[in-house]
Structure 1
Amino acid sequence: MEVYTVNVATGTSEYSGTNNYIYVTLVGEKGESERTLLDNPGLDFCRGAVDQYKVTSPSHLGALLLVRLEKQRYWLEDNWFCRYVTVQPPGEDKALTFPCYRWLIGDIKVEIREGTAKTLRDDSLPQLLAHRKTELQERQTTYRSHTPNDTTNTLDMSKVFNGFMLVSCCVSLSFRWVTWTPGMPRCIDAKTEADLPQDVRFDNEKRSDFEHSLHYALLELSLKKLAISFGKSWSDLDDFKRIFWKLRSPIAEYCMEHWKEDQFFGYQCMNGSNPRMIQRCKKLPENFPVVPNMVQSSMAPRTNLDKELKAGNIYLLDYAIMDGVPTNTIRGKPQYIAAPLCLLYQHPDDRFIPIAIQLEQTPGLDTPIFLPRDPPLAWLLAKMWVRHSEFQVFQLLSHLLRTHLVIEVFCVATLRQLPAVHPIYKLMAPHLRYTLEINCRGRTQLLSSTGIFKRVVSTGGEGLVILAQREYKGLTYRSLQPPNDFPDRGVSQLPNYFYRDHSLMLWEAILSFVSGMVGLYYQSDHDVQEDLELQAWIRDISLEGFAELPKFGLPSKLSTREELSTLLSVAIFISSAQHAATNNGQFDWCAWVPNTPCTMRLPHPTDKDAVTMEMIMATLPDVSQSCVQMAITWHLGRAQPDAIPLGQYTEEHFTEGRAQEVIDRFTAELKEIEKHIMSQNEGLELQYLFLLPSRIENSITI
């Protein structure tokens, strides 16, 4: 009789434990152990517990291949989250680890593999090959995609999902690729987060915190009798201070004091909530007729606009993408948008300042060019209109589209095409945590016809879809790679561009980490080419997820280790650093509503001399809209209580020592980056800390 020592680890989140019956069977090359009941119901498998048992077998099982877990109802159904199982064979010093990290729901039987990462070519035993195949078949049933050749149980149909077109082809299954709206990345087919499998849902603590925090913020404002002031304008700019109470931050307060300053406006173009839009201006756009004498007073002595253009010191913000976008109607009143052009100048005294603003794309008598020498209120309102466009672009394009929706494609493809033993699944899993649920919630709670954007944002409703479609049409794989993006925009030499500097450091660290991991499991480019599971994964990403984007630039086949490493680095960078750069500061930059207004209630000015404070107050968001803007940006931008920082892996998918060494080097490099960023910020009045590794989450969870 052979006796194996088995340890079973239960999850640490709320309700992870179970009082149901749990059975285990060890499966080896030479046979199976006895099916063993592991405890008396209710005594073991408590939250966070690691319980030890003895499992017997009539003879030695040889190399252990699988651990079979079974859960059966005892009295009431009680779901169980298993972290991992370790098995120490008789006479051996080292235990084998079998990662699980999944929920067992209902009367269920699952088989988990030993944790050594293996590609398809690494498996030769029929039993393990069959396990890979079965796992993927089960996943593809859950995360199914309809293909043109699949005519089983199909029906051409379209249905309205919260005001948007939801195009579907299969009606027999609940989960598959679906087109949320045409001209956008495809996504998981789930009407709400409740339709998602439990393994990709928030845990109970996360769900409770998420649902409580927005209610808390709105309640704080309601207690001040502000949030219910529908349609009422503020009396003056100082009135906006009334919504600063318990919801505040050092940067938000700095913003409140300095938002009128041209230098602070320029700083936000580089290091604010949308730091990826600024570009070098080599030649003035034909539709932006700025002449040198207009901006001469903003220039340094003994220079002019033509000289500064040639020297590379002139930059441009161009919101042409906003031109003609339909506007929202809120409580029966139309809202307004603009499509500004804004010229900025890198002054030799180290100031980065706006020097000319045109609020529409077509010049004319009713589209004046606003200048710093204009009446102060006119120049201030022109900058507000630029910042209002900035709110739309950063929330819907830089944040939603270019992080959340892009990464959802990787989520669905990874779940559908890579078994849990695959090294790329293990590498990607921590960076996909909670993303499907937060995206489902975003579509229903933020973007739908009854969502928050429809209630308070000028592009809410049809406008936000058209805006995102325009951006997606021009989205390129190249632009998602920092080493290409910054030179392409001509901003490699722009001083004090902390977002750029920190992004490049993080990119290099991530690429080094990923290349190290890829090198462990792919000895040559040929290994990449011959990995059928990996090739199915890239096809799902390229041909399914980005199906409507033929010029995206991502091939449907991976040919080299370098291509694979770059793609994985893009996914990890976007899900961690890029999301942090656009998400984490939104309360800081938007809490002072005049700095980044969510909507405008009057058209933009056509006469510089007609701008009054009364016009400004009637244009800015009303009291209720301001309260919702502050509450939602605090809710979405605050540090998450259960955040897992970049480079920290609480779920140990990799069990082999060589992989852990690569992870340890990555962790050490992130610590050095942290030190460098902290040192760089010493003495700065306004610190840029959004890309501190300790403040970057591994995945998009909010």
Structure 2
Amino acid sequence: MEEHQRSSSSAKPFSKINGKVVIISEGQSAPGNSLLLRICSCTEDTPAESGEGKFSEEAYLRNGESNNFHGMKTTTYKVKFQVKPDFGIPGALVIKSQHKQKLFLQSATLEIINQNIHFNCNSWIYPFKNTNADRIFFSNTSYLPNQTPSGLRGLRRRELEQLRGNSTGERKEWDRIYDYDCYNDLGNPDKGREHARPVLGGYLYPYPRRVRTGRPRSNQDPLTESRPEKGKLDIYVPSDEQLSPKKLSELISNAVQATVHFLIPQTVQKGSRSFSSFEETSSIFSGKRSQVVEKWVKETLKKMVPDKLYKEVIHASKKTPLKLPLPQIIAENQLAWLDDQEFGRQTLAGINPTHIKRLKDFPPKSKSGVSSSITISHIEHSLDGVPFQEARGTMVILDHHDYLMPFLSIINRKGACVYASRTILYSRSDGTLKPLAIELSLPGCSCGKQQINRVFVPASEGTEAALWQLAKAHVAANDTVYHQLISHWLKTHAVVEPFIIATRRQLSEMHPIHRLLDPHFKDTMHINALARSILINSGGILEKILFSGEISMELSSKLYKEWRFDEQALPADLLKRGLVHSDPNSPTGVELLFDYPYAVDGLDVWTAIKTWVTDFCSIFYKDDDSVEADSELKAWWREIRTVGHGDKSNSPWYEMTTCSNLVQILTILIWITSGLHAVVNFGQYAYAGYPLNRPGLCQKFIPEEGTFEFAEFLKDPDQYYLKMLPEKFEMSIGVALAEVLSRHTSDELYLGQRPSEWTANEEVQQKFEKFNEELQKIEKKIKARNRNPELKNRQGPAKIPYNLLYPGTSNIGSKEGITGKGIPNSISI
């Protein structure tokens, strides 16, 4: 009997596959035998049944060797899998953790005779007792659904089912479940009626969806989700979307340093709420500081941030913080921000260059058909001798009128002093934009008085020049609010989250489009969750520093009604705004009308992205029929349109029927997450770091002749200007926020960079290298443009080179800090 067993065993001998597994430690004990690993073959084991592949025997980690990787302890373990001779090629790694703590699995590699099979994991492994599910990782070989090796079909289905969940229950830290919810967690009605906020998402307040957390409803409002315990920053995001421990620590450290620096300089004196001179405003960057945090600063800050962060700020206030650089807007010339040419340049190359548009009608009209009060006589003396009709064709408008007017009565009742503005500029012969007139409007009263309009024009000296500077400050406040709430938050952070959720739910990890998009989603959901905790929530930082206050997100919802995905393509956006001509002979299909740094650099980057996406898709999709046949891709696109952006389901969307449409959709998405976000985010400290250049609110209207305020203004125009701006505390918080958001983190990956071995496809690797080379060419072009003295909008009076679309393809990790350079792959801050 024993001889028979031995002969049977020898008839079916086991082969061995060696491998290595890399785990990043956070002080955990070694996993030892508590991690059970199996590999699954691409070959189906029982074709007549479930489509599951052949599995190896269970294996364990052993012989760990540790080293330091980017400041983190990494341990490489050996592992040996026993498989049958007909096992075939491994395609998946299945792990069951019986360890007491979570572990971060960076990668795994299997050594086959003539090749290595790589698994680019980068994921937390939680104990099985918490998750009640094995973790599945697929090798870095990509397959369309109908091309999936038979042995992996079952695991492909199972993994997606696990990620979708069942839309019930409160999410826990270890969950990897992606489903949708409205923005019903911004208010906190249990704290008081003043903290109630409308639910965003639905008919009344359309909005993109966020990831569902499943927290209980508040006691006072069954539509509103309860807030986490005070002081907690750990709002649920799926475990694979969490910031790395190193990055989270770095982010909190940056926030503490910035807050301490700006909240307790010598200029903060008890009872002194505004600056006394322009020179004094620059002193907040000097590094001089008091050892005492004033009581009013403490109390105000404590209401705004979680307890943990507040305690760290107060603790850090006893130490000497790092001296921060002067914002670039005042580094070369402290008065450059007052220059009209610099004012015009920032509409083209500042941090909100996406709102200016061609002036179609003169005088401009509101959507209701009501004409502006600006007349030819207001502007003709500023046209440098050019006849009005000749200059008319080059005029542009920065329009913050129509969307603000319905909200002004509410905003101004809350203590702010806000106008809706229209600013007309024209392109001079040297390419610079010259402001011609600013119209500031207020709604009429309930007694039937019509809308109040005041028009201001440039002046070089005297009272008119001082009034003109006040008018520009009000325009800057309008533009700041639009930038933060719409250009930055809504049009990048918020609109992208549904794409991330749908990608995880509908596109398998082994789907080529999932692999293409994955680096462009890094950290976004966690950053958005932190924003809901600190920035955009009731009583949050944006409500404190922006004139829109508690209606900020309601205003954002109104502008989402006008958002269309197809118009987010850069060429389409420029055409809609009338700033380019259609040109079928151009690679982008458009031709620029004047020196517009954002558009010039942006179109180069857009073209490079589109070429890369076209090359990538052509490898996997040979024709339109292959797009139509991709079941996962169709489900992905359907869910984005009908659920993630379900409130916009009736607006125009591309049909997922052709290769060209697929390329356009993916190019838009990658452009939003990389180039567009870099433009509206990383220049914030350079420009908004000096709050006089970009205030977030105004506390005084522009005085009218014959009033007490006008007499006060005439006595000291500069002091009136400073009193019109936010108080020191709000200014300081705004500057600290700009400093934190402008920082590149040490682990950032930039456009053209990816982790090694992200794909096994050599043709894809070659096309990606071609993409990287094109980005390097763009870098050289940008450097040359910035050196060209004829391109006056590249630097302007403030001498700030336009680098916000400089790709930054080399030197991974070397751009940490406030550099203004580099396009990160994703919305990761």
Question: TM exceeds 0.5?
Answer: yes
Match of 1:423 in 2: 512
SS at the partner of 2:692?
A: helix
CA distance in 2, matches of 1:669, 1:114: 29
SS at the partner of 1:49?
A: strand
SS at the partner of 1:594?
A: coil
CA distance in 1, matches of 2:733, 2:550: 17
CA distance in 2, matches of 1:87, 1:599: 58
SS at the partner of 1:538?
A: helix
**Which of the numbers 595, 603, 611 marks the counterpart of 2:693?**
595
Match of 2:568 in 1: 480
Does the Cα contact within 8 Å between 1:19 and 1:43 map onto a contact in 2? no
One-letter amino acid of the counterpart of residue 661, structure 1: Q
Give the 5 Å matches for 1:192-591. Answer: 193-226=234-267, 232-245=273-286, 246-247=323-324, 248-254=326-332, 256-284=334-362, 285-286=364-365, 287-301=371-385, 303-309=386-392, 312-320=393-401, 321-325=403-407, 334-360=415-441, 367-373=453-459, 375-462=464-551, 464-492=552-580, 493-555=592-654, 557-591=655-689
SS at the partner of 1:461?
A: helix
Does the Cα contact within 8 Å between 1:82 and 1:101 map onto a contact in 2? yes
**Which of the numbers 120, 123, 127 marks the counterpart of 2:148?**
123
Does the Cα contact within 8 Å between 1:12 and 1:48 map onto a contact in 2? yes
When the two structures are aligned, how many residues end up with a matched partner?
674
SS at the partner of 1:324?
A: helix
Q: What root-mean-square deviation, in Å, do the aligned CA atoms of Structure 1 and Structure 2 show?
A: 3.1
CA distance in 2, matches of 1:122, 1:415: 19
Match of 2:773 in 1: 668
SS at the partner of 1:54?
A: strand
CA distance in 2, matches of 1:334, 1:659: 57
C-alpha distance 180-630 of structure 1, shift in aligned 2 (>3 A): farther
Q: Deviation per CA, 1:364-396, whole angstroms, max 9, x where unpaired?
A: 895321011361110000011100101000000
C-alpha distance 14-519 of structure 1, shift in aligned 2 (>3 A): farther
One-letter amino acid of the counterpart of residue 547, structure 2: S
One-letter amino acid of the counterpart of residue 415, structure 2: P
One-letter amino acid of the counterpart of residue 209, structure 1: E
C-alpha distance 433-659 of structure 1, shift in aligned 2 (>3 A): same
CA distance in 1, matches of 2:333, 2:245: 35
CA distance in 2, matches of 1:223, 1:156: 38
Match of 1:148 in 2: none
CA distance in 2, matches of 1:428, 1:255: 42
Does the Cα contact within 8 Å between 1:22 and 1:39 map onto a contact in 2? no
Does the Cα contact within 8 Å between 2:546 and 2:697 map onto a contact in 1? yes
Does the Cα contact within 8 Å between 2:422 and 2:439 map onto a contact in 1? yes
**Offset of residue 5 of structure 1:** 4.1
Match of 1:654 in 2: 759
CA distance in 2, matches of 1:65, 1:266: 57
**Which of the numbers 111, 115, 120 marks the counterpart of 1:88?**
111
CA distance in 1, matches of 2:599, 2:332: 22
C-alpha distance 26-157 of structure 1, shift in aligned 2 (>3 A): closer
| TM-score with structure 1 setting the length | 0.89
Give the 5 Å matches for 1:619-658. Answer: 619-650=724-755, 652-658=757-763
**Offset of residue 479 of structure 1:** 2.2
Q: Identify the structure with bigger relative contact order (alpha carbons < 8 Å, sequence gap 6+).
A: 1
CA distance in 1, matches of 2:443, 2:637: 42
- In the alignment, is residue 10 of structure 1 matched against residue 26 of structure 2? no
C-alpha distance 224-518 of structure 1, shift in aligned 2 (>3 A): same
One-letter amino acid of the counterpart of residue 137, structure 2: I
**Offset of residue 620 of structure 1:** 0.6
**Offset of residue 534 of structure 1:** 0.6
Q: Deviation per CA, 1:403-449, whole angstroms, max 9, x where unpaired?
A: 11111111111111111001111111100011001111112200111
**Offset of residue 180 of structure 1:** 12
CA distance in 2, matches of 1:40, 1:429: 32
Does the Cα contact within 8 Å between 2:408 and 2:443 map onto a contact in 1? no
CA distance in 1, matches of 2:578, 2:509: 42
SS at the partner of 2:538?
A: coil
Q: Which has the larger radius of gyration?
A: 2
SS at the partner of 2:423?
A: strand
CA distance in 1, matches of 2:680, 2:779: 19
SS at the partner of 2:208?
A: coil
**Offset of residue 133 of structure 1:** 1.0
**Which of the numbers 6, 24, 40 marks the counterpart of 1:27?**
40
Does the Cα contact within 8 Å between 1:229 and 1:623 map onto a contact in 2? no
SS at the partner of 2:57?
A: coil
**Offset of residue 600 of structure 1:** 1.0
Match of 2:317 in 1: none
CA distance in 2, matches of 1:631, 1:534: 42
**Offset of residue 665 of structure 1:** 1.0
SS at the partner of 2:94?
A: strand
List gaps (5 residues or longer) in structure 2. 1-12, 46-53, 170-179, 189-194, 214-226, 228-232, 287-322, 366-370, 445-449, 581-591, 789-794, 809-821
SS at the partner of 1:121?
A: helix
SS at the partner of 1:23?
A: strand
CA distance in 2, matches of 1:16, 1:534: 39
Q: Percent identity?
A: 25
Does the Cα contact within 8 Å between 2:182 and 2:210 map onto a contact in 1? no
List gaps (5 residues or longer) in structure 1. 146-153, 169-177
**Offset of residue 183 of structure 1:** 1.4
| TM-score with structure 2 setting the length | 0.76
CA distance in 2, matches of 1:637, 1:13: 29
Q: Deviation per CA, 1:610-648, whole angstroms, max 9, x where unpaired?
A: 643343222111111111111111111122222111121
CA distance in 1, matches of 2:267, 2:167: 44
Q: Deviation per CA, 1:330-383, whole angstroms, max 9, x where unpaired?
A: 9x9712222100010112243311110011177989532101136111000001
CA distance in 1, matches of 2:181, 2:804: 47
SS at the partner of 2:73?
A: coil
C-alpha distance 497-157 of structure 1, shift in aligned 2 (>3 A): closer
C-alpha distance 24-386 of structure 1, shift in aligned 2 (>3 A): same
CA distance in 1, matches of 2:637, 2:127: 33
Instruction: Return 564-573 or 360-369, whichever deviates more.
Output: 360-369
Match of 2:311 in 1: none
CA distance in 2, matches of 1:327, 1:459: 11
C-alpha distance 550-88 of structure 1, shift in aligned 2 (>3 A): closer
Does the Cα contact within 8 Å between 2:65 and 2:77 map onto a contact in 1? no
CA distance in 1, matches of 2:673, 2:181: 35
C-alpha distance 157-105 of structure 1, shift in aligned 2 (>3 A): closer
CA distance in 2, matches of 1:574, 1:591: 24
